[in-house]
Amino acid sequence: SIVLGIESSCDETGVGLVGLHADGSVELLADAVASSVEQHARFGGVVPEVASRAHLESMVPMVRKAFADAGLRLSDVDAIAVTAGPGLAGALLVGVSAAKAYAAALDRPLYGVNHLAGHVAVDTLEHGPLPSPSLALLVSGGHTQLLLVEDVASSITELGSTIDDAAGEAYDKVARLLELPYPGGPPIDAAARRGDPRAIAFPRGLTGPKDARHDFSFSGLKTAVARWVEQRQAAGEPVPVDDVAASFQEAVADVLTAKAVRAAQDHGVRTMVISGGVAANSRLGELAASRCAAAGIELRVPRPRLCTDNGAMIAALGARLLAAGAPPSPPDFGADPALPVGTILV
């Protein structure tokens, strides 16, 4: 079977095509993505109205591109999946409306699905079926979550999340402080590789013995970086950008990996997936690999293109739902900007 996936929750218009074989295995057939990230750069963050308009302009061209890339026709599709939430209301609406139109025109079942479950499901395209249970560390511009995944199509429980900024958001804010471009992840990662991660001891939020829940906090870290930079500037001294970036990055990677490994151990989980845009981070990857190896945990990180928002992840989740014989979403379902992580299918 062929599953079409449509994603428009934030600033990427993604259209993916995934093949589901009779034995349940999946195959990536197309992954067309248009991003409006450059239009948001001068604002230092995603502007919802700008993102919605960009989705409107890119949706049909990305659908055409995906089918052309795969050498398939619209009528070849057996099922359609679309991100129903969480995300930006206007942005989500573009994808949901498009998916409903295609589903009606082609008379195919439509699944309104959870974006976060899509970030987990995408790994099946790269590394095959997910063992049950698995732990997912989801780190992006809008999310920082630890998820216990019993079954990506039917059972995901949140173990913890950020109580303030998302990890990617912290990168974007610290980049701004250091006068590096938006989005801040790639330039900080590059600067950090030239700097000394032990130069400055930045705080590790919520890592004390009393912080039993698997939550994260990054706003204290961001404030500590801001204070440190301000003090330097007030003293008329140059800011050692590479060292600040390396020390900040070390704090983020340390907290994320330490808490993820602890959550895996608390729940007896032996497989960890890291996904979301921040999963591309070089230090996070290194530290996760060494700490997972030491703890006897198998680490799975999809390639960077699949970690950031895309339509293939939604198609991959749709394929799992189709394989499980899940009922399609009710025809009147809408976009839900605050869709809870446990609601995989609306």
Q: Which does 271 bind (CB under 5 to 8 A by kind): Mg ion, Fe ion, ligand ATP, none?
A: none
CA angle 233, 239, 244 (to 5 degrees): 125
Q: How far is the CB of 313 from ligand ATP (least distance, A)?
A: 10
Q: How far is the CB of 341 from ligand ATP (least distance, A)?
A: 12
Site for Fe ion contains 309 (CB under 5 A): yes
Does 114 appear as a known binding residue? no
With CB atoms as reference, the residue minimizing the distance to Fe ion is: 309
Strand order, beta sheet including 110-114:
26-35, 12-20, 2-7, 79-85, 110-114
Q: What sections of the chain are H helices per DSSP?
A: 37-40, 48-70, 89-106, 115-121, 123-127, 167-177, 185-194, 219-234, 241-266, 282-295, 304-307, 312-323
Q: How far is the CB of 13 from Fe ion (least distance, A)?
A: 13
Name the DSSP class of 162. B
Does 266 appear as a known binding residue? no
Helix (H) or strand (E) holding 112: strand 110-114
Separation in Å, CA 228 to CA 168, 179, 240, 340: 20, 15, 11, 37
- Residue ranges binding Mg ion (CB under 5 A): 10-11, 309
By beta-carbon proximity to Mg ion, the closer residue of 279 and 321 is 279
Separation in Å, CA 58 to CA 12, 65, 92, 138, 184: 9, 10, 14, 26, 24
Q: Which does 247 bind (CB under 5 to 8 A by kind): Fe ion, Mg ion, ligand ATP, none?
A: none
By beta-carbon proximity to ligand ATP, the closer residue of 67 and 218 is 218
Instruction: Give phi and psi for 72, each to the nearest 5.
Output: -120, 165
- Residue ranges binding ligand ATP (CB under 6 A): 9-11, 87, 140-143, 168, 171-172, 183-186, 189, 276-278, 280-281, 308-309
By beta-carbon proximity to ligand ATP, the closer residue of 87 and 197 is 87
Q: How far is the CB of 182 from ligand ATP (least distance, A)?
A: 8
Does 138 appear as a known binding residue? yes
Q: Which residues are annotated as a binding site for Fe cation?
A: 115, 119, 309
Q: Which residues are annotated as a binding site for substrate?
A: 138-142, 172, 185, 189, 281
Please report, as ranges, the residues that interact with Fe ion according to CB under 5 A.
140, 309
